[in-house]
Amino acid sequence: MSEEYSRPPVGSPFPEIPGEEAGGILTIDLDAVASNWRTLQKRVGDAACAGVVKADAYGLGLEPVVYALSKQGCGVFFVAHISEGKRVHAVNREATIYVLNGFFPENAETYLHAGLRPVLGSFEEIRQWLVVFPDKASAPPAAVKVNTGMNRMGLTVEEALSPEGKALLSQLNLKLIVSHFACSEEPGHPAVQKQLEAFRAVRGAWPGIPGSLANSSGVFLPEAPYFEVVRPGYALYGGNPTPGKPNPMKPVVRLEVKVLATRSVDAGAAVGYNGRWTAAKPSRLAALHVGYADGFLRSQSGTDDKIRAGAAAAGVLIGGTPCPVVGRVSMDLTLVDVSALPAQALKRGTRAVVIGDGLSIDDVAGPAGTIGYEILTSLGRRYSRRYIGKDL
Ligand SMILES: *Cc1c(COP(=O)(O)O)cnc(C)c1O
């Protein structure tokens, strides 16, 4: 496309770490991100598919992701922080950028200069904005968020429809009405219908103002609640927006880490900090060059308690064979049981697959007791990051 996109410093803001020095190689497939965006855009037809790139594009690197999405024709971005909005603006000067976490008067200049649009979520916040930008004709565009059931941010529906609300909103250069699903990954949940009805009521009071309700899972709801703008994040990065069903998105992330050492232990050997795993039989273990400081979460530890409780074990793949985590995950090291592998299949420097080869971010999240979103945003800074894709 054209000159308005400045080629991003790929890998920024992380220090470049050469592959041979790193404990792990994190590969981020920007073609898959682009393809996922196209899939979502196609699905929502005439609505605009925005890109949610908050939290450094869910940990994958805001600049390269914004660049790749911009090349596809994505022109609307949502961030949580002002600092993230400035980074989007630096990559794509033409982008429409909404800041979900809203406005404080001390940042008015930044909103103006970086072309940011606040998502305003209370009468107080709207009034603060109007003090700085009282003239609708010259004010920067803004969005308003309405709480339709999440009870996190936003005007209540009653506030939005009240005379006071109407008077306040009519003073804004209002470009978007936003709400957010609390349960969109649970199709058929009664909250979905309730939120949809509430959102329609508010939209109805502001004919001509575009609306935006759907996140990734919202795009896959049978109700097709697309309105004018959809706001997927997780699905762009390969997360499954339809839990329990096959993932319609392409995987984006691959993470491989080095095996540092192997050892054999006797039955009864206690392993790792506080000896929370005990070998039931003679076992072979491998120490991996990854730990909780790298986002290999401590909740992925393999303890006797968990095994007795029948909890799903976290693990990695070595040569395609699942190897469960044993003992507590340490800051820089993790132990896995490699007894199932032939000894010759493993040596110092062999790579274990933490994410990839069918082990998805959703698969990793389950035994860790969390969601793939947290797996992505926890990905550490000590990996050698590689971006692949034709637009680099
Ligand atoms: C994070 C976020 C999104 C994106 O949600 P996904 O589930 O990642 O698609 C959309 N809207 C709001 C308000 C958000 O905070």
User: Could you read off the pLDDT of 273-320 as tens digits, one per residue?
Assistant: 999 999 999 999 999 999 999 999 999 999 999 999 999 999 999 999
Query: 343 alpha carbon to ligand 1 midpoint, in Å?
Result: 45
Residues carrying an active site annotation: 54, 273
**For 38-54, what is each residue's pLDDT tens digit?**
999 999 999 999 999 99
Could you tell me if 200 and 265 lie in one domain? Answer: no
The residue whose C-alpha atom lies closest to atom 3 belonging to ligand 1 is 215
* Tally of domains within the chain: 2
Could you tell me if 311 and 179 lie in one domain? Answer: no
Best probe residue, ligand 1, of 36, 40, 52 (max atoms within 8 Å of C-beta):
52
Could you tell me if 233 and 259 lie in one domain? Answer: no
What confidence score (pLDDT) does residue 9 get? 54
Using a 6 Å cutoff on CB, does residue 233 contact ligand 1?
Answer: yes
Best probe residue, ligand 1, of 39, 54, 78, 147 (max atoms within 8 Å of C-beta):
78
Q: What angle do CA 205, 211, 214 make, to 5 degrees?
A: 130
Could you tell me if 121 and 233 lie in one domain? Answer: yes
What confidence score (pLDDT) does residue 28 get? 97
Find, among 149, 187, 147, the residue nearest to 165 by Cα.
147
The sign of the CA dihedral 117, 121, 125, 131 is positive
What confidence score (pLDDT) does residue 15 get? 74
pTM: 0.95
| CATH code where residue 207 lies | 3.20.20.10
Block residue for tokens 């050492």? 261
What confidence score (pLDDT) does residue 4 get? 57
What confidence score (pLDDT) does residue 5 get? 62
The answer to the question of residue 8 being in a domain is no
Block residue for tokens 């949940």? 189
Using a 6 Å cutoff on CB, does residue 180 contact ligand 1?
Answer: yes
Could you tell me if 276 and 171 lie in one domain? Answer: no
Could you tell me if 119 and 227 lie in one domain? Answer: yes
Could you tell me if 200 and 323 lie in one domain? Answer: no
The answer to the question of residue 386 being in a domain is no
Could you tell me if 257 and 202 lie in one domain? Answer: no
What confidence score (pLDDT) does residue 67 get? 96
The answer to the question of residue 374 being in a domain is no
Domain that holds residue 188: 30-237
Query: 333 alpha carbon to ligand 1 midpoint, in Å?
Result: 32
Could you tell me if 308 and 211 lie in one domain? Answer: no
Q: Are strands 211-212 and 24-29 parallel, antiparallel or unpaired?
A: unpaired
pLDDT mean by block of 10 residues, the chain; 392 residues: 55 75 97 98 98 98 96 98 97 97 95 96 98 96 97 96 97 98 95 97 95 98 98 98 97 98 97 97 98 98 96 96 98 98 92 98 98 98 94 71
| CATH code where residue 271 lies | 2.40.37.10
Could you tell me if 276 and 225 lie in one domain? Answer: no
Could you tell me if 171 and 132 lie in one domain? Answer: yes
The answer to the question of residue 4 being in a domain is no
Could you tell me if 152 and 42 lie in one domain? Answer: yes
Give residues with Cβ within 8 angstroms of 13, minimum separation 6.
56
The answer to the question of residue 2 being in a domain is no
Q: How far apart, in whole angstroms, are the C-alpha atoms of residue 178 and residue 55? A: 20
What confidence score (pLDDT) does residue 343 get? 84
What confidence score (pLDDT) does residue 1 get? 41
